[in-house]
Structure 1
């Protein structure tokens, strides 16, 4: 039997922009992988929107993974842009272990952002 888990998150772009301004590089490197940072920085004026969408993706993914206790490191969930322009999730370390333990065999991601808001939806297929 196949099960599905859905996670979603909506975030104000301004909250991410404020964190970047207040904490700088330390904030970016705590939350995002080097590849995520490079992609978002290349977005120019869209940098905060891109970061917010990726932050929302990480939150939505955590809702799917359902960590018990304290959560998992932000950077163990990575948003990757495919050559075709789609986005995918790549899990590392503790996030990968949680997904494996839950029987998650596939993750799908959808992102959207505009000037003030960003949203992400994550769907997980579980083979039970």
Structure 2
């Protein structure tokens, strides 16, 4: 079984400065409308954007650079509030990706584990 891990850590201030400089152009280049609306609905807008940015970077690392673009994936929360990745390019990605996101006032970190789900091996990956 092919199992790959990606991790990304980013300063929240770096995201804030980039958004302040590039505005909507940057937001819609990296994030989907759903991701932007999710972050805007939260008290700490930039922390949530940074968390989703870190998750996308971690996913790119776990899949291998050049395999997917920023907007071909969307970070959403399930009914329990756990982050999940939804791929918008049906069929291009043949792996399951589990993600975890955490953030503080200053930093956001995310981890992604990509694996192929086969009938012979179905790992149950859960993040605490």
The alignment's TM-score, normalised by the length of structure 2, stands at 0.85
> What is the aligned partner in structure 1 of residue 111 from structure 2?
121
**Greater share of residues in strand:** 1
Runs of 4+ in 1 over 6 A off after TM superposition: none
Q: Report the CA distance between 1:3 and its aligned residue.
A: 2.7
Q: Report the CA distance between 1:125 and its aligned residue.
A: 1.7
Equivalence map 1:24-103=2 (5 Å): 24-44=23-43, 46-68=44-66, 72-93=68-89, 97=92, 99-100=93-94
Q: Report the CA distance between 1:10 and its aligned residue.
A: 0.3
Equivalent pair of 1:49/1:114 in contact (CA under 8 Å): yes
Equivalent pair of 1:88/1:108 in contact (CA under 8 Å): yes
The alignment's TM-score, normalised by the length of structure 1, stands at 0.85
Q: Report the CA distance between 1:43 and its aligned residue.
A: 0.9
Cα distance in 1 for partners of 2:115, 2:25 equals 34
The one-character-per-residue Cα deviations of 1:2-53 (angstroms, maximum 9, x if unpaired) are: 2311100000000000011111111111110000000001113x10000001
Q: Report the CA distance between 1:127 and its aligned residue.
A: 4.6
Structure 2 unaligned residues grouped into runs of 5+: 119-128
> What is the aligned partner in structure 1 of residue 123 from structure 2?
none
Equivalent pair of 1:3/1:127 in contact (CA under 8 Å): no
Please give the secondary structure, in 2, of the residue aligned with 1:43. Answer: coil
Structural RMSD (CA): 1.7
Cα distance in 1 for partners of 2:65, 2:5 equals 15
